Structure 1
Amino acid sequence: MITNHCLKYISNFSRVSFLRIASKASTRFCVRRMSLDHLQRTASNTRHNVVSGATVVKVKDESSTVKKLTLKVHDKRFFFKAGQWVDMMIPKVEKVGGFSMCSSPRKLAQDGLLDLAVKKSNHPPAHWVHTQCREGIEVNIRSGGDTFYDPKPDDPQPDLLLLAGGIGINPLYSILCHVTDLLPKKEENFVILDKNTAGADNFDHAPNKVCLLYSASVEDELIFQRELSEAVEQYPCVDCQYFLTRETTQKTSLPVKNRRINHQDIQDSFRRLRKEKTMVYICGPSPMIETMETILLGAGIGQQQILFEKWW
Structure 2
Amino acid sequence: MLSAETISIVKSTVPVLEAHGEALTRHFYKRMFSHNPEVKPFFNQAHQRAGLQQQALAGAICAYAANIDNLDALGPAVELIAEKHVSLQIKPEQYPIVGENLLESIKEVLGDGATDEVIQAWGEAYGFLAEVLIGREAQIYKEIASEPGGWSGFKRFRVARKEKESDIITSFYLEPIDGKPLPHFKPGQYITLQVPTRDGSTTMRNYSLSDRPGKAWFRISVKHEESKGPDAPEGYVSTRLHRETDVDDEIDVAAPCGEFYLHPDLDPKRPLVLLAGGVGITPLFSILADALQTTPDREILLVHGTLNESLQAFKPVIEQLAEKHPNFRRHYCYDEPARDGAQREAHMTTGLVDDAVLDPLLPADNAEYYFCGPRPFMTSIYRQLTARGIPNENLHFEFFGPRGELETAKAA
2: CA distance, partners of 1:117 / 1:294: 28
2: CA distance, partners of 1:229 / 1:288: 23
SS of the residue corresponding to residue 90 of structure 1 reads strand
* Structure 2 unaligned blocks of 5 or more: 1-37, 44-53, 61-73, 81-86, 90-94, 96-132, 146-150, 228-234, 402-412
Alignment of 1:98-137 (within 5 A): 98-106=206-214, 108=215, 112-121=216-225, 122=227, 123-137=235-249
Task: Name the structure 1 match of 2:289.
Answer: 177
Task: Name the structure 1 match of 2:378.
Answer: 289
Structure having greater relative contact order (Cα 8 Å, sep ≥ 6): 1
Amino acid aligned to 1:214: H
Alignment of 1:58-69 (within 5 A): 58-69=161-172
Task: Name the structure 2 match of 1:307.
Answer: 396
Task: Name the structure 2 match of 1:257.
Answer: 349
Return the offset for 1:26. Answer: 4.0
2: CA distance, partners of 1:104 / 1:222: 19
Q: Runs of 4 or more off by more than 3 Å in structure 1?
A: 11-16, 19-24, 26-29, 43-49, 250-255
1:89 matched to 2:190? The reply is no
**Aligned residue-pair number:** 259
SS of the residue corresponding to residue 95 of structure 1 reads strand
Task: Name the structure 2 match of 1:268.
Answer: 360
Task: Name the structure 2 match of 1:231.
Answer: 321
* Structure 1 unaligned blocks of 5 or more: 1-10, 30-37, 183-204
Task: Name the structure 2 match of 1:78.
Answer: 183
1: CA distance, partners of 2:222 / 2:166: 10
2: CA distance, partners of 1:147 / 1:27: 13
SS of the residue corresponding to residue 238 of structure 2 reads helix
2: CA distance, partners of 1:116 / 1:180: 20
SS of the residue corresponding to residue 156 of structure 1 reads coil
User: TM (normalized to structure 2)?
Assistant: 0.56
User: TM (normalized to structure 1)?
Assistant: 0.73
2: CA distance, partners of 1:227 / 1:261: 21
More strand, by proportion: 1
SS of the residue corresponding to residue 203 of structure 2 reads coil
1:279 matched to 2:368? The reply is yes
**Using a 3 Å threshold, how does the CA distance of structure 1 residues 226 and 173 change in structure 2: closer, same or farther?**
same
Deviations 1:198-254 (A, max 9, x none): xxxxxxx45620000100011111111110001110001100000101343376865
- RMSD of aligned residue pairs (Cα, Å): 3.2
2:210/2:283 contact within 8 Å kept = yes
2: CA distance, partners of 1:68 / 1:213: 21
More helix, by proportion: 2
Amino acid aligned to 2:76: A
Task: Name the structure 1 match of 2:156.
Answer: 53
1:28/1:310 contact within 8 Å kept = no
**Using a 3 Å threshold, how does the CA distance of structure 1 residues 15 and 225 change in structure 2: closer, same or farther?**
closer
1:64/1:220 contact within 8 Å kept = yes
Of structures 1 and 2, the larger Rg is shown by 2
Which of residues 151, 156, 159 in structure 1 aligns to 2:267?
Answer: 156
Identity within the alignment, % = 19
